[in-house]
Amino acid sequence: MSRRVVITGVGAVTPLGIGSDPLIERWSGGESGIADGAGRCREFDPLDFLAKKEARRLDRFAQMAIAAAEEALGQAGAGDGLPYEGHRVGCVIGTGIGGLPSLEEQQRKLIESGPKAVSPLAVPLMMGNAAAAAVAMRHDLHGHTYGVVSACAAGAHALGDAARIIRAGDADMVVAGGAEAAITGVATAAFAAMEATSPSGISRPFDARRDGFVMGEGAGVLILEEADAAAARGAEMLGEIRGYGATCDGFHLTAPQPEGLEAARAISLAIADAGLSATDVDYVNAHGTSTPLNDRSETMALKLALGERAADVPVSSTKSAIGHLLGAAGAVEAIATVEALRRRLAPPTLGWEEAEEGLDLDYVPDGARPLENGDGPLVAISNSFGFGGHNAVLCLAA
């Protein structure tokens, strides 16, 4: 009997607030966390979670990961100590960019005051594995621990890899997710220079008027656990990672393959890995960036992978409410997906009004809608695609 991977805790820091409940409840209620063209976590204060000394040793993305992990571990009943020996607990946290605010700050010091002014904390602040390292250090985790770097697919890759680590028997629990805080001068200018971000500052995925993504920041952390072990200790199971599919376009540094061929393959692989078929999918949490290219190729990928089911499965994008959290997106959206399934509700794609030819799926434009499939668990796929052509798809059930 193969090992199954369940979710026993979730934690989120997002532009909709601190916690996974505000994320799902405010999004489902039609609220957006985007203001002035960016999805900032305005309610986040690192000193709510960290001593001053700890806080100044972590970049914002890692601070947010600490906060998300705190919530998730608490929910899993592991906040005051692990239910397993530390070597059986891993930590895999993705990021797209890492500690960019720290890098920019140290670069400024270098230019203004010379090399001696550069902080000895610079490297640990900006390294992409800092979030995983900090969470592991705080909670005495000694299993597989590393960062994942695959641009906007990093959060989903982290969860998929973490599930594989548990399935392979290398861990009984993995603290997994993604974190990003890169709304900085350089990143904002760079994404604008490549015309990836929205000049209007509006995130409206799949709408004909969409003109790019809106930058967001935040973190999502999930506690993944081997199902029998979780059951044995009486943990509440919020959901399950049923399947995982990962492919690469091998096509272009930034643009998705236009027909979504490899994205479709990743979706199909995730569904097959779950032992399910396209007709079993009750909800799709889309990558849905609000860029002209992604939303078109993703729509094509869904049609290719889901066949006839694509025409009537509800598809919505969390990014319509919080913007694009880059390397945190896949993790935060996996949380949103599981919580949506638990509430048996498909949250809406906010701002969707105008259809575009060929973009004709059910994008849930008119508010949250009940998901119905008898009394059994609901099944969803959560898509994440990153620059570099990385495609990571999770098949989730709850």
Contact residues for another protein, defined by CB under 8 A: 51-57, 116-117, 119-121, 124
* DSSP-based helix, strand, coil % in the chain, nearest 5: 40, 20, 40
Distance of closest approach, residue 111 Cβ to another protein, in angstroms? 17
In terms of Cα–Cα distance, which of 240, 334, 217 is closest to 287? 334
Rounded Cα gap, residues 271 and 281, in angstroms: 8
In terms of Cα–Cα distance, which of 39, 57, 331 is closest to 183? 39
Nearer to another protein, 51 or 355 (CB): 51
Respond yes or no: is residue 252 known to be catalytic.
no
Nearer to another protein, 118 or 304 (CB): 118
Rounded Cα gap, residues 128 and 24, in angstroms: 28
Distance of closest approach, residue 308 Cβ to another protein, in angstroms? 59
Distance of closest approach, residue 4 Cβ to another protein, in angstroms? 42
Distance of closest approach, residue 217 Cβ to another protein, in angstroms? 24
As a whole number of Å, the end-to-end CA separation of the chain is 21
Query: At 224, phi and psi to the nearest 5?
Result: -100, 140
Nearer to another protein, 124 or 155 (CB): 124
Question: Of the residues 139, 152, 157, 390, which is catalytic?
Answer: 152
Residue type, 70: E
Nearer to another protein, 53 or 374 (CB): 53
Distance of closest approach, residue 49 Cβ to another protein, in angstroms? 14
3-class DSSP assignment, residue 379:
strand
Question: Of the residues 139, 157, 287, 390, which is catalytic?
Answer: 287
Nearer to another protein, 119 or 277 (CB): 119
Respond yes or no: is residue 287 known to be catalytic.
yes
H/E run at residue 245: strand 239-248
310 torsion bin: left (phi>0), alpha (psi -120 to 50), beta (else): alpha
Nearer to another protein, 1 or 116 (CB): 116
Rounded Cα gap, residues 152 and 170, in angstroms: 26
Distance of closest approach, residue 52 Cβ to another protein, in angstroms? 4
Question: Of the residues 139, 324, 390, 395, which is catalytic?
Answer: 324
Rounded Cα gap, residues 244 and 382, in angstroms: 10
Rounded Cα gap, residues 204 and 352, in angstroms: 6
* Catalytic positions: 152, 287, 324
